[in-house]
């Protein structure tokens, strides 16, 4: 089963390969579109990874981020 991060990483690799191919072919509009797609997939990948990390840390009952500290 593919996770969201795996799909986004595959989409990012595809966008980068398209970017290189478009640059070799000399197609400026395709280079622009591929660059935008690569940026968006990378941003979405970082957002998904951050969400997974924060969700995993706060779900643990012994997490230092989830426990109250004395004086707070």
pLDDT one-digit tens code per residue, 4-48: 889 999 999 999 999 999 999 999 999 999 999 999 999 999 999
Can you read off the two tokens belonging to residue 18?
A: 């398209």
CA pair distance 20, 26, nearest whole angstrom: 10
Alpha carbon dihedral 28, 30, 32, 37, in 10-degree steps, equals: -170
Residue 24 near residue 36 (C-beta atoms within 8 A) = no
Position 65 confidence tier, pLDDT thresholds 50, 70, 90: low
**Burial class, 49, CB count within 10 angstroms (exposed 0-12 / middle 13-18 / buried 19+):** middle
């Amino acid at each position: 089963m593919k996770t969201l991060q795996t799909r986004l990483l595959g989409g990012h690799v595809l966008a980068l390969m398209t970017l290189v191919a478009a640059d070799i072919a000399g197609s400026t509009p395709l280079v622009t579109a591929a660059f935008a797609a690569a940026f968006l997939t990378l941003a979405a990948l970082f957002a998904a990874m951050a969400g997974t990390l924060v969700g995993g840390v706060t779900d643990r009952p012994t997490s230092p981020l989830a426990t109250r500290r004395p004086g707070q």
